[in-house]
Structure 1
């Protein structure tokens, strides 16, 4: 497996943190990018406990002017950059009837625009290494609809289109996406406001009768980032406990 460094956005918690730890377990150095400085540093310390080099970089992924310095700081510690996992994301629940332009722009900027702009900024690094790979954290909400999160659904569907487009342009860099289902993360709790009726409904959707774990999504990401996925590009892997496989 390639040992080039990986940048993980949104790595301060949830799926992003789990991805950073899963990659570190294979010996890959990881840069944790997040606007949550405390959480990013905590994740970096966990990565270091696995014996992998790590650095926490505090930034807002929507601020592309901050990318050059953040990439340089990451490269200095990791030694090389051969991977990107874009796990940064926000939901901002607002149905269309209540949707504001600011909320729409905020979600699309973090979830979708940042992935394209960051990939562009990293191209020189990624092209230097064999088996470089990119994984976007999309969602089953990019495949099915939820009435109260139209901006989120749009951004996650957009990531799937962007994945296919970039795979076409950037080969042999591999570009894929993972579509998590209902995963037990702080973001899910925030999006539902802790409403147990939503959480119970999400649990029933899974064929296993439970929410997914961040580490289960991270395992799929680790596979797609690895040399074992050397002939996989331009596609997405659904990790949802069967929620979208059947009508329940």
Structure 2
């Protein structure tokens, strides 16, 4: 393991060091510097690396061990929540308001955090990824009101989740469960959730060794991609249909 993070050169096409060489303390810190250009971001995700840093810091690049993931057939909703969903009129769509979702994620309060890591530069970088067909959002609506959502990066048949939010109670759970349903239908087995927390565990997230995760990612990112917006392919999904999702 490295004692210090690798300093990235200015060339956005420069390779990252092997993710397995990331630091132990802080867990997973691999590299520092560079930029959030499209080629660098796509290169990072293809190798199981993601950016995460606070305002005023240079870009920090991470690959923690172990890694939090969701299997798309194992996202769980509590029995009580599933009963409530039977009466829900919410609808879920994709890629109809990406910028609104990422802005809502930036404003969402996080336990133990002050401010947001989704800086203006980070926000613009992912909007650019979205415009190029690489980043996607899943959105939960109550009529015309956006009440929850999730966004992330898709490469091949691998989805790298970045952040989610609830404008109303349960909105983020519905977005995650709907994403898992569609990805499972498309033959995508995994959603990267990056770093563990109790909430993700409660929804069915599990930890896998970094080496295992990297092996899985290496195979999935080279599968034929789904290009462009997901709006048509995802269609509209009724939240009430998620009442049959697995229970804990």
TM-score over 0.5 for the pair: no
Q: Give the TM-score of the pair, scaled to structure 2.
A: 0.29
Larger helix proportion, structure 1 or 2?
1
Higher relative contact order (CA 8 A, sep 6+): 2
TM-score, with structure 1 as normaliser: 0.29
Greater strand percent: which structure?
2
